[in-house]
Amino acid sequence: MITQQTIERVFEAARVEEVIGEFVQLKKSGSSFKGLSPFTDERTPSFMVSPVKQIWKDFSTGKGGNAVSFLMEHEHYTYPEAIKWLAKKYNIEIEETEQSDEQKQQMNERESMFLVSKFAKDYFHDVLMNSQNGRAIGLSYFKERGFREEVIEKFDLGYCKDEWDNFTNAALDKGYDLKYLKSTGLTIVKEGGPKIRKFDRFKGRVMFPIHSMSGRILGFGGRILTNDKKAAKYLNSPESDIYHKSKILYGIYHAKKEIAKQDNCFLVEGYTDVISFYQSGVENVVASSGTALTSDQIRLVNRLTKNITVLFDGDAAGIRASIRGIDLILEQGMNVKVVSFPEGEDPDSFAKSHSSAELKQYLEDKAQDFIEFKVSLLMKDAANDPVKKAGLIRDIVTSISKIPDGIQREVYVQECARIMDISERVLFSELAQLISKGLSKSNSKKSSSSQDPNQPPPEYFQEQAGMMPVKGGGKRHQKIDQLNILEKEIIRILLLYGNEVVDFVNWVDGVDEKGRPVMEKEEYQNTVSNELYLNLQEDEIEFTDEVFKLTYYELIHQLNQEEKISIDQLIMHENQSISNLVTNILMDEEKYSLSDWERKEVFVTETNKILPKLVSDAVLNLRRVLIEEKIKEILKAVQDKNADLDLEEITNYTGLKTRLFEKLNRVI
């Protein structure tokens, strides 16, 4: 286990904006940063990072936390793995105590698969660089391709010996379970007969490890070095719990910083294209690894930049096949440019035959808007054929219809009209029809999915969510848990204002000179935290929500030990439920900056100006709701047991409730 001292050093060194900035493009917004959610597909930023509080909140999903919780959410790290990642980033030495056998067994299957994949990466790279066989075959191949050793090291390239089970035996000898060698696809297991047979999937291939955005090994691509026509030239790891080829881009780990810095991403097709570009100084490059481009892959880029440049080989047939991916990019609201290489060239070969300066200049000079590119490509076929020309125009308008931004669509229509020499009116009419059809299909899908006979009716889900029918109408509203709201409000006040000293006013029962009961005013000073604690202690109030209860105990423990509340300790609490609750409450204040209310001349009353009343109302309302619940319990017990009603008890509770309403200045 990692020692507490190491964890504290990591939290002290880690800057949440720096950590998240490696995965999400952040822009300054007042004292905070904002960006697109890395967890949902959105076009308006709802993701906030507070450098002052060292926390983040994704308002589109409700997720939030500190640097550690971000890595756990985004990269699916365990808590120790997230700490280790941060320790490596900030050059902090990890101090660990020996893990017990029970703790080792608790590692889940995904983590075991990641461990096996990392071992494979290290093993293949070691074979490539340090074995006679690897250097003679694998390293020679990479050097023939023009790759320098520092780039080979950078991308963790490797070689799997041309032996049936060399890697598998090495992994088994190191104690790795065959189950995970099989589930990652590194080993092919043939069962049946008296003996289980095991084969290396990537036998005789040079290896390209596929990294996640944080650098974890998800899978591999392997290229065969023989002329065996029966074997695939490139072979990828099969789909698994950790590797989904449609959701990852090769090179994203090495390119992410430069993509954000350059505010542009070059998209190529293959592994060697990426490596050759990187070696030539163009580091903001990723590859779809030979698969058709997917929305998930585009979203990875969209988190880092809104600009993408698609690079095509000089092969015309290949360009036509690949150009379909442009519509997917447009749908994500991204700006698309296209560069094609001379016939017979691809990004890899062009980068090798030109200097770094020539490559960068070519990319700058040849970048075309997607309409110009599509027209120049397809007009050769249309030539003087009116029918083909009409089809080309319709094809381009279809692409324009995918763009979510209305102004951008209009600009592209005007550009298309100019290039194709056709009236804007005709194009806008066609565009309107396409958009209308798209909406109809979308609504039809929603309608059919809601009427699926195999699915429960909507009422079922409403009831499961605590939705209650309203008398006299078909509309429903959610049953409100008042206790939950009030308990959360008390935690919120403690976190935001617990250490502040405030002038409080209390109304106590008294009598006037004629002996009539009255409410008398009592003024005194106290910290917010002490005021809340004493009131809750006096009434022996227990929180009903488990997370609120745990958080409250932590706050009270801090007050008893240090006589003040330390937010930082709660943010980096090892209990993620407490950490997430604290973060969500703290970041709720930041959401107003997303709406920019001040610019719209909408001003919110500063809470600290009404703090005494806020504290008093929170306690009084909690008492009121608890009394109401008590009255309900008594009446239900009478009804269930057919017992006599204790009128005096009900009268006493009702009297208490009346006095609370008077204190709250409410009318019954």
- Per-residue 3-state assignment (H helix, E strand, C coil) for 154-215: HCCCEECCCCCCHHHHHHHHCCCCHHHHHHCCCEEEECCCCCCEEEECCCCEEEEEEECCCC
**Which of 308, 305, 209, 307 has the alpha carbon at shortest distance from 253?**
209
**What letter would DSSP give residue 461?**
H
Superfamily name and number for 4-102: Zinc finger, CHC2-typedomain (3.90.580.10)
> What is the structure's pLDDT at 182?
96
- Structure confidence at residue 337 (pLDDT): 93
- Residue 74: the pLDDT is 86
47-61, 77-91, 97-111, 187-201: least confident range: 97-111
Q: What residue type is assigned to position 512 of the chain?
A: D
pLDDT at 395 over 90: no
| Domain topology for 108-243 | DNA primase DNAg catalytic core, N-terminal domain (3.90.980)
Reply yes or no on whether the pLDDT at 324 is more than 70.
yes
What residue ranges do the domains of the chain occupy?
4-102, 108-243, 299-436, 482-565+605-663
Q: Give the mean pLDDT of 450-463.
A: 38
| Predicted confidence band of residue 463 (pLDDT cuts 50, 70, 90) | very low
Confidence class for position 441, pLDDT limits 50, 70, 90 = low
Residue 472's pLDDT band, with cuts at 50, 70 and 90, is: very low
Is the pLDDT assigned to residue 515 strictly greater than 80? no
Q: Quote the pLDDT of residue 320.
A: 65
Confidence of residue 591 (pLDDT cuts 50, 70, 90): low
Residue 422 has pLDDT above 60, yes or no: yes
As to burial, measured by CB atoms within 10 angstroms (0-12 exposed, 13-18 middle, 19+ buried), residue 272 is buried
Mean pLDDT value across residues 595-612: 59
Nearest-angstrom CA–CA distance, 211 and 356: 25
Q: Are 520 and 510 in contact (CB under 8 A)?
A: yes
82 pLDDT above the threshold of 50:
yes
Q: Which residues contact 236 (CB under 8 A, 6 or more apart)?
A: 210, 219, 220, 221, 222, 245, 289, 290
pLDDT-derived band at 581 (thresholds 50, 70, 90) equals confident
Residue reference for tokens 């290290």: 122
Average pLDDT of the segment spanning 114-143: 96
Can you read off the two tokens belonging to residue 441? 């299909």
pLDDT band for position 169 (50/70/90)? very high
Instruction: Judge contact between 123 and 171, C-beta under 8 A.
Output: yes
Share of the chain above pLDDT 90, in %: 34
pLDDT value of position 617: 84
Residue 464 — very low, low, confident or very high, per pLDDT cuts 50/70/90?
very low
Residues 511 and 517: their CA atoms lie apart, in Å, by 4
pLDDT digits (tens, 9 = 90+) for 523-575: 888 888 888 888 887 767 778 888 888 898 888 888 877 777 888 888 878 78
Q: In the predicted model, what is the mean pLDDT of the chain?
A: 82
d(CA 284, CA 363): 12
Name the least confident of 15-29, 257-271, 282-296, 373-387. Answer: 373-387
Report the run of H or E that residue 448 belongs to, with start and end: helix 424-450
The pLDDT value recorded for residue 267 is 95
pLDDT value at residue 667: 40
Query: What does the pLDDT read at residue 81?
Result: 85
Nearest CA to 545 out of 617, 481, 478 is that of 481
Confidence (pLDDT) at 408 = 85
pLDDT of residue 457: 41
pTM of the model: 0.68
For residue 201, the model assigns a pLDDT of 96
Tokens of 203: 């036998």
Least trusted range by pLDDT, from 94-103, 189-198, 594-603: 594-603
Residue with the two structure tokens 């560069």: 339
Taking 70 as the threshold, does the pLDDT of residue 448 lie above it?
no
If one compares 31 and 104, the residue with the highest pLDDT of the two is: 31
Contact 186, 172 (CB under 8 A): no
pLDDT value at position 412? 87
Is it true that domain 299-436 has CATH number 3.30.70?
no
What is the spatial distance between Cα 56 and Cα 48, in angstroms, rounded to a whole number?
6
More confident residue, 455 or 419: 419
CA distance 211 to 286: 11
Q: What is the pLDDT of residue 593?
A: 55
User: 43 pLDDT band (50/70/90 cuts)?
Assistant: confident
Phi, psi (deg, nearest 5) at residue 402: -75, -20
- pLDDT at position 475 over 50: no
